[in-house]
Amino acid sequence: MTQQQATPETGTRPGGAAAARPSPDGLPDSDAPGTRPELEYPCGDAPEVGSAREIVPGVMWLRMPLPFSLDHINLWAVRDGDGWAVFDSGVHSTETARAWRTLFAESGPLGQGGLRRVFVTHMHPDHIGMAGWLTRRFDCRLWMTQLEYLSCRVLVADTGREAPDEAVRFYRRAGWDDDGIEFYRTRFGTFGKMTYALPESYRRIHDRERIRIGEHEWQVVVGTGHSPEHACFYCPELKLLISGDQVLPRISSNVSVFPTEPDADPLHGWLDSLDRLRRTIPDDVLVLPAHNEPFRGIHARLTHLARGHASSLERLRRHLEQPRRVVDVFSALFARPIDGPHLLSLATGESIAHLNYLLRRGEATVSVDDDGVAWYQGAS
């Protein structure tokens, strides 16, 4: 059974502030005017697919297409001796493969020296999807954290399987109807179709590890909540942070509970990670995110993200004055209607994350009726 069945087109959602409710699908922030922090975007427009833009000497901004509503991912190439190290790889597709071939062609922007290492921030298909293709093509190694590598191996193994009974019960418990369950059954196992076969071995990286890449040292900074062991990469000399999905300027990462660990509390890990990043990373860094554009103002953004979840939790507490199913709390947490089966999956996972956060702290109770549906209410 997988940890995550949501596909990456809606793997992020806008971060809300106290004045607004977030939507779960990676659309621009829906905050009221004046509630978002003023961020600086010094790098201009994104490069075209198959081209590159130099951010600082030896660091290149790449962009790959995604076949989803969130239609792009940023990747980063760093000079590594006489070749390159890349950070994240794009989803497995013919379009992404074509773009990589263009980049590494003899006349391409990365054509001199080839690829020496592939670093992956986390195991979602838009980040790891082409890692196996790249490592085989260039005979180089994959570098990532252990939980991300092993979690991806489990998810890929679900391809071709039927949806497990435990997972169906998980979504029935949340209040899904027959149409939602049928959609889940038909979509189960699609993760592996977006991920090229992983290499059979990898180089494990650790939180706080310092890695020499070319002329500079980069520090691994691990966060949780969006994925099990998400790696960011901080270079003090260059004042750069490759943030993956852990910090994005205009959308916030989806923080969800999945059928494999129904009692998980990822929101606690996410909030702790935001606080740790604020304490670890100076405010003057240029953040290189997986989506949107490079920006400065990380401390303001981290504060904004934390306040958005605090506001969501407060609305949820008020909503639980009466017993509610998971599907009944969407209006308290999200700004837009949850009007499709794919949004239903993401909204359910994130709602359970918020409910489990309250349960763990004794602020809510849950009971299960004769139909196996869970009902939540604020603790008296």
pLDDT tens, residue by residue, 227-237: 999 999 999 99
Q: Tell me the torsion sign for CA atoms 163, 164, 167, 172.
A: positive
**Position 112 pLDDT exceeds 50:** yes
Mean pLDDT, to the nearest integer, of 191-210?
Answer: 95
pLDDT at position 1: 34
pLDDT at position 2: 37
pLDDT at position 376: 98
Give yes or no for a contact between 156 and 191, defined as CB atoms under 8 angstroms apart: yes
Mean pLDDT, to the nearest integer, of 153-165?
Answer: 88
**Position 125 pLDDT exceeds 70:** yes
Q: Residue 182's pLDDT band (boundaries 50, 70, 90)?
A: very high
pLDDT at position 166: 95
Share of the chain above pLDDT 90, in %: 82
Phi, psi for residue 145 in degrees, rounded to 5: -75, 160
Q: At what angle do helices 131-138 and 94-104 cross, to 10 degrees?
A: 40
Q: Residue 33's pLDDT band (boundaries 50, 70, 90)?
A: very low
**Position 22 pLDDT exceeds 50:** no
**Position 365 pLDDT exceeds 60:** yes
pLDDT at position 252: 83
**Position 366 pLDDT exceeds 70:** yes
Give yes or no for a contact between 26 and 42, defined as CB atoms under 8 angstroms apart: no
Separation CA 90–CA 69 (nearest Å): 15
**Position 76 pLDDT exceeds 70:** yes
pLDDT at position 341: 81
pTM above 0.85, yes or no: yes
Give yes or no for a contact between 222 and 230, defined as CB atoms under 8 angstroms apart: yes
Mean pLDDT, to the nearest integer, of 245-265?
Answer: 95
Lookup: tokens for 360: 């763990």
Q: Residue 27's pLDDT band (boundaries 50, 70, 90)?
A: very low
Say which residue the tokens 């992983």 belong to. Answer: 198
DSSP lists the bridge partners of residue 235 as 240
pLDDT at position 18: 29
Say which residue the tokens 């679900």 belong to. Answer: 158
Neighbours of 319 (CB within 10 A): 17
Mean pLDDT, to the nearest integer, of 69-87?
Answer: 96
Q: Residue 29's pLDDT band (boundaries 50, 70, 90)?
A: very low
**Position 32 pLDDT exceeds 80:** no
Mean pLDDT, to the nearest integer, of 86-94?
Answer: 97
Is 38-310 CATH 3.10.20.90? no
pLDDT at position 16: 33
When the pLDDT of each residue in the chain is averaged and rounded to a whole number, the result is 91
Strands (E), 258-314: 286-289
pLDDT at position 42: 98
Separation CA 200–CA 220 (nearest Å): 23
pLDDT at position 40: 98
pLDDT at position 23: 37
Residue-wise DSSP of 51-108: --EEEETTEEEEEEE-SSSS-EEEEEEEEETTEEEEE----SSHHHHHHHHHHHSTTS
Which residues, including other chains, have CB under 8 Å from residue 50's CB and lie 6 or more apart? 98, 99, 102, 103, 108
Separation CA 234–CA 221 (nearest Å): 7
pLDDT at position 159: 78
C-alpha closest to that of 335 among 31, 10, 75, 6: 31
Neighbours of 366 (CB within 10 A): 15
CA dihedral 290, 295, 300, 306 (to 10 degrees): -10
pLDDT at position 128: 98
pLDDT at position 288: 98
**Position 134 pLDDT exceeds 60:** yes
